[in-house]
Amino acid sequence: MRKKELSVGWIVSLSILVTTLVLAFSTRAYLAAENIKASPADKADVQIIENKARPSGSEKLILTKEITIGKLEKGGSIFNSLGGAVVTSDGHIIALDSKDKKIKIFDATGQKLKEFGQEGQGPGEWTSPIIIQLISDLEIMISDAGNRKLVYFDLEGKMLREVSYAKKLAMMKIIDAGGQYVGSEMGMESNSIAYTIAKYDAEFNQLFKIETLTMPVPLGGTRINPFNIIYDFCLDNRGNIIYSRLNAYEIKYFTPDGQLFRIVRKEFKPQPLTEKDKEEMLEQMPETPGVNLRELLDFPDTYPAVSTFFVDEKDRLYVRTNEKGKAKDSYLVDIFSPEGKLIYRGEIAGTPILVKNSKLYTIEKDDEDYQYICRYQATWKK
């Protein structure tokens, strides 16, 4: 029998499918000295911070819900599938609805002001908008995976410029780092699909690599564990790159020029991945001709250690774990000081996505799985 050959397009489709799966489950008193152990890594200038499972300090995060954004009077949500949201300094919420392929803007009270976005391949148009980033209070960036470009807009919907990365096979996540970019690039290495997390110049030439993750091309009945190639990264307010392979509770800090200077670890209890969980993941995956996901994917018995993370305005790191809370659709979130010390652990509804002006924003679902953006007053107390 002739060996089946896979096209580049099929491989890209598979990669996006797996990435979609991961993203779907992927939202002051410091610890006492005896609960924190700092030790040098192989290089003297790299600090390793080892945290216990729970903080011992007295600091508390008090969350008070203020508004829910997106609820319709007749029921349901204004959002079809949230790809992310950003907030300006005056509290305007700018949301990317990836399924509607629209930008939806709300004032600080949650009232919708406008929406814009045009599907297509022309200037200022997109086919697969997946990421939104706030560049300034007057400018946003949208990453369009379909046309392989970044589109910059003002808040009136006027296109300011475009940046193409069409010379790349695919970019799964991109952050604008002041005219340079931190991103994850998909390519091929031997018989494997490779994801390279790296920093790039303005023309998307690689400046340095952080890590390359690989998964086998599924030929001859090969099955893949989608969690082997999951990762996340963000930038802190000084431009440092914070990166993690999410299957281990280990978060690495790199300087803007790529020097590793800190590794943060934490004890954790692996969370079981049930058959029901797997079915829910598969149901959220879009169908692709020729791809039988049940035969292709080989799920492990436990969730990854980490789901996603971000930093607030004081460079505290918020890590949403896969440990479910007592309330429906809530998860345990660990918060670390800028120095990598665990200072708080608590249950937060949905997926927290950002903190702005002492307000925590989350993406939450109701009993019918409609999505909303919620805002909480976030108060730290000792």
| Contact by Cβ (8 Å): 335, 354 | no
Tell whether 248 is covered by a domain: yes
Which pTM was predicted? 0.89
The answer on pLDDT for 50 being more than 80 is yes
- What is the spatial distance between Cα 123 and Cα 315, in angstroms, rounded to a whole number? 36
Tally of domains in the chain: 1
- The CATH number for 12's domain is 2.120.10.30
Q: Which amino acid is at 355?
A: V
Residue 199 · residue 184 · CB < 8 Å: no
* Radius of gyration, CA atoms only, the chain: 21
pLDDT higher at 289 or 94: 94
Query: At residue 16, does pLDDT exceed 90?
Result: no
Quick check: is 2 in a domain?
no
Q: What is the pLDDT of residues 251-289, one digit of tens each?
A: 999 999 999 999 999 999 999 999 998 888 887 776 666
Work out the pLDDT band at 228, boundaries 50, 70, 90.
confident
Average pLDDT over residues 46-60: 93
Q: Residues 183-201: what's their mean pLDDT?
A: 90
The predicted pLDDT at position 6 comes to 41
* pLDDT tier at 18, thresholds 50, 70, 90: low
| pLDDT on residue 93 | 98
Q: Which pairs with CB-CB distance under 8 Å and at least 24 residues apart come from 375-379?
A: 375/65, 375/66, 375/67, 375/69, 375/93, 375/110, 376/63, 376/64, 376/65, 376/66, 377/63, 377/64, 377/66, 378/61, 378/62, 378/63, 379/61, 379/62, 379/63, 379/64
The pLDDT assigned to 89 comes to 96
8 A C-beta contact, residue 186 and residue 197: no
Q: Is the pLDDT of residue 87 over 60?
A: yes
- Tokens 């797997």 map to which residue? 278
**Higher pLDDT among residues 100 and 191, named by residue:** 100
- Note the pLDDT of residue 270: 94
- What's the first-to-final CA gap in the chain, in angstroms? 69
For residue 257 the two structure tokens come to 């020029």
Phi, psi (5° rounding) for residue 206? -70, 130
pLDDT tens figures, 312-338: 999 999 999 999 999 989 999 999 999
Say if 316 falls within a structural domain. Answer: yes
49 has a pLDDT exceeding 70: yes
Does residue 164 sit in helix, strand or coil?
strand
Instruction: Report the candidate in 128, 141, 136, 311 with the shortest Cα–Cα distance to residue 235.
Output: 311
In this predicted structure, the answer to whether residue 33 has a pLDDT above a threshold of 50 is no
Non-local (6+) Cβ contacts of 378 within 8 A are 61, 62, 63, 355, 358, 359, 360
pLDDT at 37: 37
Coil, strand or helix: which one is 9?
Answer: helix
Percent of the chain with pLDDT over 70: 87
CA 207/CA 201 separation, integer angstroms = 6
**234 lies in a domain?**
yes
Q: Which pLDDT value is given to residue 31?
A: 25
Give the pLDDT of residue 35: 35
Domain that holds residue 203: 8-381
Predicted local confidence at residue 86, as pLDDT: 98
Q: What is the mean pLDDT of residues 176-197?
A: 90
Note whether residue 322 is domain-resident.
Answer: yes
Query: Which two structure tokens, joined as six digits, stand for 73?
Result: 């009077």
The pLDDT, as a whole number, for residue 1 is 34
CA dihedral of residues 233, 239, 102, 195 (deg, nearest 10): -30
Query: Does residue 1 form part of some domain?
Result: no
CA distance 123 to 224: 38
Share of the chain above pLDDT 90, in %: 71
Predicted confidence band of residue 226 (pLDDT cuts 50, 70, 90): confident
Note whether residue 3 is domain-resident: no
The pLDDT assigned to 222 comes to 77
For the ranges 26-35, 110-119, 317-326, which has the lowest average pLDDT? 26-35
Residue 282, phi then psi, degrees to nearest 5: -65, -35
- Name residue 27's amino acid: T
- Name the average pLDDT for the chain: 88
Residue 63 within any structural domain of the chain: yes
pLDDT for 119 = 96
